[in-house]
Chains A and B, each alone.
Chain A
Amino acid sequence: MINKQEKTNLLSQGVFIFVCLAVLTLLEFLVAVTFNSLVVLVVVALVKAGLVLYYYMHMSKLNENPDAATDHESYAFKTGTNRAGLWLFLLSDAFVFGGLMAMRLNLLGLTRPDLNQNLGLFVTVVLLVSSFFMNRGETHLHNGNRAGFLKNTMITFILGLAFLLGVVMIEWHAIPSVAEAVLHLFGEPAGRTPLKPSSGVAGAAFFMMTGMHAFHVLTGLIFLAVIWVNGKRGLYDEKQYPVEAAAVYWHFIDVVWIFFYPALYLIGTAI
């Protein structure tokens, strides 16, 4: 059994990591708009990714698996196998994003698409906050607080949806009037033509990278909806792995964005 002290510790750890991530994100932004050092941006991104991998995705749980000697049919053993499977999948998926990153570096080098950096910061923060709530929801379930789990998962879902709609409607100009109005709010200078997939390699790289990421956000939202509905129905008292898996996947999407955000909005000079 976990005692009360441990429960609060786990929750406050989540808060602490979130604060670190938020500070680093802000730092990144400030570096980019002032002296724009590539090295600093890369280091910050690596640190952020490391924090998420270790504290939010609990990578170390891969080592906590009960070993092969335990009954292969037990839930604990199967959870260990499932964890290995999920991480292998993420490794594979990381190669897609790595390939996209290589594509971007090859085609654009130290230039970047001419995008609204304020809006970029905003959507990044939205995704980051959603990761925080995801972690909180998972911790609540772990602590036996179902209501807390449901509430936080719901918030995560809403933030994720906001991110997705933000990218598609505003960044992609799917609804031009809305996009222009919102961009105006974010201090968009007049007369900048929106990027199109067909407008040169900058447009191609931008749409491909955000598109692949948005597709993963969409699937992540589906998993969130599934665990929310099933959690509402009373599942996951004992067998909590599905929630862990959805959370790990959600954080993975955030890790990808930790690298894509500077790659698209911060490094190099805008073209």
Chain B
Amino acid sequence: MKHNPLRNAFVFLLAFGAVGYGAGLGIDRFVTGDFHFSGAVAAAFALLFSVAAFFFGLYGYRGVTRGLTFQVVGMFAGALFVTLIRTLMGLKAFDAFLFSEPAWVFGGLVGAIAFLFGVGVVSDWMKWARGIDTPEHHEDEPGWRKFFGVSLDHKVIGIQYTVTALFLISVGGLFALIFRTELAESQLQFLTENLRLFDQSGPQLYNTLMSLHGMIMIVSILLGIAGIMNYAVPMLIGARDMAFPRLNAFAYWLSVPAIMLLLMSLVLGGFDTGWTGYPPLSARAPVGMQMFFLGVFVAGWSSILGGLNVIATTLRMRAKGMSPFRLPILVWSALAASIIQLTATQLIGLSFQLVMFQRLFDMGFFDPAKGGNPVLFQHLFWFYSHPVVYVFVLPGLGVISELLPVFARKPLFGYRWVALSSLGIATVGSIVWAHHMFASGMNEYLRVPFMYSTMLVAVPTGVKFFSWVATLWGGKIETPTPMLFVLGSIVVFLFGGVTGPPNAMVALNLHLHDTYWVVGHFHDTIFGGFVFPFFAALYYWFPKATGRRMNEFWGKVHFWLMTPSFLVLTFGMMFIGLRGMRRRIVDYDPAQGFDHAQLILTICAFLIAISILIFLINFFRSIKHGEVATGNVWKSRSPEWQVPSPMPAHNYDVPFEVVGEPYDYGLAGSKYIEFAADGAGKKH
């Protein structure tokens, strides 16, 4: 009898987790002379071993398993190498977390690179360097197995991104549930001073979980939008694949070692800076800080290269007749998001690198004692981290504009304005970053210009809202699950949008900054601009990917459970924020009278978690058991729905030509695309 691979995987996870834990404990004992049962070293070993073993049980020693094995071996080899050199130089060889900080950093870097070799995503390039040509088209394994190894098919990579994003959302959500539970009541309940886990006390663990929640969610969003863009863009423009399929796979696979590094930061002492990693605090936090920086750096490269690919694909691979103003709106917004990803991402990488080097080599960039400037860090950091919020939301807003006409059965209102508004948002959004720094002590003359530039962003964003409302106006609106989520996006994003300008007013900002008001604001923008549209996209394109559709009933339950809970959650956050609830803090004074509100917020958080659990079950069940749907489920005009689902590799067997406007729903005789007659110009 064949064993169920998933069962194998969990058995391996537990067994090797235990082996790793034991090994870590023993080694730690050997170096320090003491057992640390809840210490960092044992946990780090357990984490590394169990994850690799999980995939071994699932899939055997190839693909991702081989990558992870290489990463673990590479990490230890790199760390030992530095340790050896330090010993020879007469420096301290071992430290609190077994290896010294430079050893962990170097090991982390070597491990990430080793992963890429192990998983096999650079082997074609290595052959090219030796002058050997390799074919671009290789057959993927059938069934689910193709997702665990290197595939060059953009649809496979899109799904890999999406599922990885869902996994990360779950991890980040779990972290949130933990610290939300602690917040339900004032005083410390279970994250107490006496708790000791991964060499952190309860409040320290709160800080680490809160910080990692932020960054893990951000990475999951980057992967989520990469999933949508990878899956949809080539199909929408009639390309057989992305412009650079190998680079595409490379960008995806970078994210896996990045996730491992981020998780390592949790166990290696954590860090307490929040996702923003400001020095001087980040210049002193435990080793976990460095793992966090490294992880973000690697994930950043994934985002940069993914963005590069989307731009090149849009520029070069469009079908005949697809002139700029016949491009689907989703492609326009993906293009705008990708431009930010390509350029601005380098600045967060640089800012984190500078802190890394400050810690490793005692360089004085942000150290006032050496003439350095901590505010400089914030400029470099926000130069990316504001524009990136548009990376999060632009693809989502594109999804809204893409789906609305389908379900309102009406042309999209103001196509050209909407198309250009994405670029407008990206442009204006790049010159507003210092609105995060009004309270930071930056030069005062910068305040007012940044206030006005920030307010200006509302203009192109408003264009989108007008278009949505006008598209809905007088439409024959249908509300299957994807449309529910589209409508939800619009409402939630509106709340996120209107709470932005108050933040941008300098005078108000000084009061609102670093309160729960801001937390409410950005959760609304991110849910409205990413999470809701992401779910809409998943429900909408699920039949395209699988040939089956997700259960409508449970889809509706998901929506009607999540939306009200979420709105109550963020309104509550803003409410207590206005009255002085500090953000990023494990406890609050009972005298502030927030206990009831906080309890309600925690309950809402759990309701959202349940709704997402329902979604996940529906998602994975429907792959096998969903209602069969191979045709044009949503009566869409878009080219991918004119051919049966699921799409074959390299998409359209017969190329199409664009002959009309994309969103002319309900106009008699209008036509968007035409397939070449009798398969003329067949690609295979």
Is A117 on the interface with B (CB-CB < 8 A)? Answer: no
Bound together, the chains give a CA A93 to CA B305 distance in angstroms of 11
Is B3 on the interface with A (CB-CB < 8 A)? Answer: no
Output the nearest chain A residue to B376 by Cβ-Cβ distance.
A106
Q: Are B304 and A92 in contact, CB atoms less than 8 angstroms apart?
A: yes
Is A72 on the interface with B (CB-CB < 8 A)? Answer: yes
Q: Which of A88, A96, A226 has the most CB of B within 10 A?
A: A88
Contacting residue for B342 out of A69, A81, A88, A198, CB 8 A? A88
Q: Are B308 and A89 in contact, CB atoms less than 8 angstroms apart?
A: yes
Is B350 on the interface with A (CB-CB < 8 A)? Answer: yes
Q: Which of A37-45, A185-193, A200-208 contacts B (4 or more CB under 8 A)?
A: A200-208
Q: Which of A223-271 contact B (CB under 8 A)?
A: 226, 229-230, 233, 235, 242
Q: Are B316 and A68 in contact, CB atoms less than 8 angstroms apart?
A: yes
Bound together, the chains give a CA A172 to CA B309 distance in angstroms of 37
Q: Using known A-B contacts A92-B304, A208-B354, determine if residue A107 contacts B371 with beta carbons closer than 8 Å.
A: yes
A260 to chain B, nearest CB (A): 15
Bound together, the chains give a CA A77 to CA B317 distance in angstroms of 10
Is B680 on the interface with A (CB-CB < 8 A)? Answer: no
Bound together, the chains give a CA A224 to CA B357 distance in angstroms of 29
Chain A residues contacting B370 (CB-CB under 8 Å) are: 198, 200-201, 204
Contact with B along A53-81 (1 / 0, CB 8 A): 00000000000000011001000010011
Bound together, the chains give a CA A235 to CA B129 distance in angstroms of 11
Q: Which of B282-290, B359-367, B409-417 contacts A (4 or more CB under 8 A)?
A: B359-367
Is A194 on the interface with B (CB-CB < 8 A)? Answer: no
Summarize B's interface: helix, strand, loop or mixed. Answer: helix
Is B318 on the interface with A (CB-CB < 8 A)? Answer: yes
Chain A residues contacting B304 (CB-CB under 8 Å) are: 92
Is A91 on the interface with B (CB-CB < 8 A)? Answer: yes
Is A154 on the interface with B (CB-CB < 8 A)? Answer: no
Is A176 on the interface with B (CB-CB < 8 A)? Answer: no
Bound together, the chains give a CA A207 to CA B370 distance in angstroms of 15
Q: Are A95 and B364 in contact, CB atoms less than 8 angstroms apart?
A: no
Chain A residues contacting B309 (CB-CB under 8 Å) are: 85
Q: Which of A23-31, A97-105, A119-127, A142-150 contacts B (4 or more CB under 8 A)?
A: A97-105
Chain A residues contacting B362 (CB-CB under 8 Å) are: 197-198
Bound together, the chains give a CA A104 to CA B131 distance in angstroms of 41
Q: Using known A-B contacts A106-B373, A230-B131, determine if residue A93 contacts B346 with beta carbons closer than 8 Å.
A: yes
Contacting residue for A204 out of B247, B317, B364, CB 8 A? B364
Chain B residues contacting A201 (CB-CB under 8 Å) are: 364-365, 370-372
Chain B residues contacting A106 (CB-CB under 8 Å) are: 373, 376, 379
Bound together, the chains give a CA A145 to CA B383 distance in angstroms of 47
Chain A residues contacting B354 (CB-CB under 8 Å) are: 103, 208
Bound together, the chains give a CA A28 to CA B380 distance in angstroms of 30
Is B189 on the interface with A (CB-CB < 8 A)? Answer: no
Contacting residue for A198 out of B346, B363, B373, B383, CB 8 A? B363
Chain A residues contacting B358 (CB-CB under 8 Å) are: 204
B242 to chain A, nearest CB (A): 10
Bound together, the chains give a CA A149 to CA B416 distance in angstroms of 49
A120 to chain B, nearest CB (A): 21
B85 to chain A, nearest CB (A): 15
Bound together, the chains give a CA A229 to CA B342 distance in angstroms of 32
Q: Are B363 and A208 in contact, CB atoms less than 8 angstroms apart?
A: yes
Chain B residues contacting A205 (CB-CB under 8 Å) are: 365
Is A84 on the interface with B (CB-CB < 8 A)? Answer: yes
Q: Using known A-B contacts A107-B365, A201-B365, determine if residue A96 contacts B308 with beta carbons closer than 8 Å.
A: no
Chain B residues contacting A92 (CB-CB under 8 Å) are: 304, 308, 342-343, 345-346
Contacting residue for B380 out of A91, A103, A198, CB 8 A? A103
Q: Using known A-B contacts A85-B312, A197-B363, A201-B365, determine if residue A68 contacts B129 with beta carbons closer than 8 Å.
A: no
Q: Are A69 and B320 in contact, CB atoms less than 8 angstroms apart?
A: yes
Chain A residues contacting B371 (CB-CB under 8 Å) are: 107, 200-201
Is B244 on the interface with A (CB-CB < 8 A)? Answer: yes
Q: Which of B279-335 contact A (CB under 8 A)?
A: 304, 308-309, 311-312, 315-318, 320
B346 to chain A, nearest CB (A): 4
Q: Are B349 and A96 in contact, CB atoms less than 8 angstroms apart?
A: yes
B30 to chain A, nearest CB (A): 33
Q: Are A204 and B372 in contact, CB atoms less than 8 angstroms apart?
A: yes
A80 to chain B, nearest CB (A): 7
Output the nearest chain A residue to B377 by Cβ-Cβ distance.
A103
Bound together, the chains give a CA A85 to CA B248 distance in angstroms of 12
Chain A residues contacting B350 (CB-CB under 8 Å) are: 96, 99-100, 103
Chain A residues contacting B376 (CB-CB under 8 Å) are: 103, 106-107
Output the nearest chain B residue to A67 by Cβ-Cβ distance.
B316
Q: Which of A69, A89, A91, A95 has the most CB of B within 10 A?
A: A95
Q: Are B240 and A72 in contact, CB atoms less than 8 angstroms apart?
A: yes
Chain B residues contacting A235 (CB-CB under 8 Å) are: 131
Contact with A along B440-474 (1 / 0, CB 8 A): 00000000000000000000000000000000000
Q: Which of B235-258 contact A (CB under 8 A)?
A: 240, 243-244, 247
Bound together, the chains give a CA A271 to CA B370 distance in angstroms of 14
Q: Using known A-B contacts A200-B370, A201-B371, determine if residue A226 contacts B129 with beta carbons closer than 8 Å.
A: yes
Bound together, the chains give a CA A88 to CA B244 distance in angstroms of 13
Bound together, the chains give a CA A244 to CA B373 distance in angstroms of 41
Output the nearest chain B residue to A85 by Cβ-Cβ distance.
B312
Chain A residues contacting B240 (CB-CB under 8 Å) are: 72
Contact with A along B369-402 (1 / 0, CB 8 A): 0111100100110010000000000000000000
Is B347 on the interface with A (CB-CB < 8 A)? Answer: yes
Contacting residue for A85 out of B128, B243, B345, B351, CB 8 A? B243
B340 to chain A, nearest CB (A): 11
Q: Are B372 and A68 in contact, CB atoms less than 8 angstroms apart?
A: no
Chain B residues contacting A89 (CB-CB under 8 Å) are: 308
Is B337 on the interface with A (CB-CB < 8 A)? Answer: no
Q: Are B316 and A95 in contact, CB atoms less than 8 angstroms apart?
A: no
Is B486 on the interface with A (CB-CB < 8 A)? Answer: no
Q: Are B342 and A233 in contact, CB atoms less than 8 angstroms apart?
A: no
Q: Which of B349, B363, B376 has the most CB of A within 10 A?
A: B363
Q: Are B344 and A95 in contact, CB atoms less than 8 angstroms apart?
A: yes
Contacting residue for B347 out of A69, A81, A99, A230, CB 8 A? A99
Bound together, the chains give a CA A102 to CA B383 distance in angstroms of 12
Chain B residues contacting A81 (CB-CB under 8 Å) are: 243-244, 312, 316-317
Bound together, the chains give a CA A233 to CA B308 distance in angstroms of 32
B449 to chain A, nearest CB (A): 17
Bound together, the chains give a CA A188 to CA B350 distance in angstroms of 33
Given known contacts A88-B312, A204-B364, what 8 new A-B pairs fall within 8 Å (CB)?
Answer: A69-B320, A99-B380, A106-B379, A197-B363, A198-B363, A201-B364, A204-B370, A226-B129
Q: Which 10 A-B pairs have the closest CB atoms?
A: A204-B363, A198-B362, A95-B346, A201-B371, A230-B131, A99-B350, A197-B361, A81-B316, A96-B346, A204-B364
Listed by A's residue number, 16 A-B pairs whose Cβ atoms lie within 8 Å are A81-B316, A84-B311, A85-B308, A92-B343, A95-B344, A95-B346, A96-B349, A102-B380, A103-B380, A197-B362, A198-B364, A198-B370, A200-B364, A201-B370, A226-B129, A242-B128
